[in-house]
Structure formats: C-alpha cells, structure tokens
Amino acid sequence: MNTLPTRLDASQLQALVERYFSAVDRGDLAATLACFAPTARFGIANHDLYYQGRDAEVRGMFERLATRYARVWHGDFDHVVDVLHQRVASRFRVENTTHAGELLRKNNCNFFEVQDGLFAVVMVYMSGENSLT
C-alpha cells in the first residue's frame, strides 16, 4: 500500500504552529514534542546552536526551558504561510519570567518546515540572550 505524504492547508499549518506555542507555554512537553517529526532539526540560527532529533536533543532543550523559567509566553503572532512548500514564517513576542520574578521580553521570528504534518525543521531568530540553551 502506497500512502501519500500528509499535506496541510493554510489554516492547518497556522494551527500547528499555534498549537506548538500553546503547548510550550503550558509546559506540556508531550504535546510540544508531538508537533515534531522524530528526525526534526531545531536551530537557533543567530546563536549558531542546533539540536537534532525530537526524542533526544530537542526534548532536552525543552526540558531545560521548562526548568529555567517560572513562565513562558508567546503571542501577538504574524504568520506567513506557504502551503505549496509546507512552510510557515512567524513573527511574535516572547515573555519569559524568571523564578526571581524578572520579566524578560523578546521579539522572535521562527521559520517552520513541515513534512507529513509535523515540524521537520524549525529555525529560530531571537532578540537578546539565548533562552534555549
């Protein structure tokens, strides 16, 4: 049996991105990782840092993020969706609250490449200090 790859429409691509950010903000590691393909690559390009593999390096990065901050929030999204190439570019604000109560604000752009309905590649460009080390 030959199965065709899953292709998402524009609203599904945008919903995948927002579902991912919602899961990150809730600290729901399982739901966050469910957005990624097993061989996903995650990069913070402007800090020259790359993680390979959903269940190893990408998982570790999100585990560290969850312990580093008391709260994370992503919002005020602007998405550009390319259905033909299964890509989404997203510009948004980030607020990270430290355990000491300090509020850190950033402006980020992420570029998502989707294969079979999951993130295959995520490239992040963030202002300020890297919060995903």
The answer to the question of residue 71 being in a domain is yes
Buried-exposed string 27-54: b where 16+ CB fall within 10 A, e elsewhere: eeeeebbebbbeebbbbbeeeeeebebb
The answer to the question of residue 1 being in a domain is no
Interval 40-93: pLDDT, tens: 999 999 999 999 999 999 999 999 999 999 999 999 999 999 999 999 999 999
For position 2, what pLDDT does the model report? Answer: 59
The answer to the question of residue 106 being in a domain is yes
How many domains does the chain divide into? 1
For position 15, what pLDDT does the model report? Answer: 97
The domain that holds 117 is classified in CATH as 3.10.450.50
* Residues 20, 74: Cα–Cα separation, whole Å: 10
Domain that holds residue 43: 10-126
The answer to the question of residue 3 being in a domain is no
The answer to the question of residue 131 being in a domain is no
| Mean pLDDT along residues 111-127 | 97
